[in-house]
Structure 1
């Protein structure tokens, strides 16, 4: 699909994914993107980061979060005030549902290992290959069943507050194979998606996605879907892109995302989101 020749009506909300979309491949915000975000906010647009990242991964973005300082994290599992380091709202899996997901995946996909994001931090199984900022970050390292509490009682990681997101890794399946198999095994127990180039599933409570939490956040402010422009690159962005009035896939997006969207932005390393923002603010911009 090609981008429509006429730009959409100026939105009230810009909802953008981070990794692979707004951020460059080295994880930084380019000077052009930083400037475009600032000009957009000065012009009255509200920028909302809608990311698979957990709240604890947001501190490096404090300076560019926007005036409201809030991000939707963990694929909709948490609404987090980045500046104040305060959880505003969460939509967690219960310990019992988390345990049911673990058992379903473990029975159908031998070799799968698990980690858990929850209000108090991050825990993982001994064989879970922690990477990036997860290395050394775990509060607990133990089998998933122990982390979740015996029988799903809620006494383990997350406690009564539940788990923002389950992470599951597989050593041999391709990312898309793992996603298809995981969705088949989990069924209606939870939402299963992915955003990583490795075989990593991201699992949220049933009905919870970037779209559901963004829609609720916008509704509280009297903003309709038609007043939202969204940007993304991976399968976990698809619900948000389907919901928003104007949906943009960056050029480096997953094939499913490119197939599902009409509008295009240049790649994350070419400041694609910034260039669209510039056009929205000044249609004659290059």
Structure 2
């Protein structure tokens, strides 16, 4: 593997897929001027940029001023594709079926007593009384997960994008392993938080699988994609992309999945690679 200062440069990429928190965003949740300039330069050079995140569409304001071109973002770990030019309108939804969600809730409660849950719907988030409140979502309903997931008529409720499962005492990676062992045959379970907070999507739904669908619609192959990430929820995307970079601050699983490394998010690691990609593209012209 190359050093963090000299990541490998891919050949003729057509799309850049980047995670946000811990990757594109600095720790203070800002996008640096250098990164803004690099994203704009990539789009100007004809390289599409996809934001691919665990965040819901309504929390995409951190990058809304830096959207160019198509304006699409993959949100909720692949459960939704949003149009950021249209206020985050959801164009594609890959839902977690409610009966499956209830089954996973009960399985994880039994496997890890003390687990509390939140339910991310296409219309917003709701959570159990023991779950820490979301101050960004003051209108959330508070009730037990089974009630939050209940619908009087099948299919009448808003689609479930994902479950959030939180435990106050377990090690985050141990909780992830336990949950995957208990319920991984029914859902895609991952994490992006430094705490014991898991994210549960429908079976086969991940950043990678939705990115693959979006790329197929554009005639873009995995070999033409450059991906960036830092946490377990980025692993499938880092493995799928033809060229991928784990941030210098990444989780060990991201390092293992990526084909290269860059510097940390606070050092503008994504911009560093984009600048090298663009410099490499321009190099053949130097002799003319």
How far did residue 131 of structure 1 move?
Answer: 4.7
Q: Is 1:101 aligned with 2:98? A: no
- Who is 1:209 aligned against? 206
* Deviation, structure 1 residue 182: 0.8
Whether the 8 Å CA contact 2:9–2:277 is kept in 1: the answer is yes
Distance in 1 (alpha carbons) for counterparts of 2:114 and 2:97 = 24
Cα separation, 2, equivalents of 1:107 and 1:221 = 44
TM-superposition CA deviations, 1:111-136 (whole Å, max 9, x none): 000001111111001110135635x2
Q: CA deviation at 1:257?
A: 1.1
Does residue 1:116 correspond to 2:116, yes or no? Answer: no
Change (3 A) 1:6 1:249: closer
- Give the stretch that moved more between structures: 161-170 or 207-216: 161-170
Aligned partner of 2:35 among 11, 33, 36: 33
**Cα pair distance change 1:73/1:117, threshold 3 Å:** same
CA RMSD of aligned residues (A): 1.9
Q: Indicate which of 76, 79, 92 corresponds to 1:77.
A: 79
Aligned residue number for residue 144 of structure 1: 145
The counterpart of 2:10, out of the listed 8, 12, 29, is 8
Q: How far apart in 2 are the matches of 1:173 and 1:116?
A: 21
Taking the aligned partners of 2:49 and 2:16, their CA distance within structure 1 comes to 5
Q: Which residue of 1 aligns with 2:65?
A: 63
Contact 1:14/1:48 (<8 A) preserved: yes
SS in 2 for 1:117: strand
Counterpart in 2 of 1:249? Answer: 246
1:130-175 deviation digits (Å, cap 9, x = unpaired): 35635x251x11000111117x9657xxx44421010010010011
Offset of residue 261 of structure 1? 2.1
Tell me if structure 2 keeps the 8 A contact 1:33–1:271: yes
1:91 aligns with 2:97: no
Which residue number corresponds to residue 51 of structure 1? 53
Q: How many residues align?
A: 279
Give the Cα–Cα distance (whole angstroms) in 1 for the partners of residues 245 and 53 of structure 2: 15
User: Given the superposition, is the C-alpha separation of residues 114 and 270 from structure 1 closer, same or farther in structure 2, using an over 3 Å criterion?
Assistant: same
Q: Partner of 1:166: helix, strand, or coil?
A: strand
Structure 1 unaligned spans of 5+: none
Tell whether the 8 Å contact from 2:2 to 2:8 is kept in structure 1 after alignment: no
The separation in 2 between residues aligned to 1:162 and 1:107, in whole angstroms, is 25
Q: CA deviation at 1:104?
A: 0.6
Q: Do 2:119 and 2:149's aligned partners in 1 also have CA atoms closer than 8 Å?
A: no
Deviations 1:43-81 (A, max 9, x none): 111000000001111133211122111100000000001
| Counterpart-to-counterpart distance in 2, 1:141 and 1:283 | 53
Distance of 1:137 and 1:211 partners within structure 2? 31
Which blocks of at least 5 consecutive residues in structure 2 are unaligned? 283-288
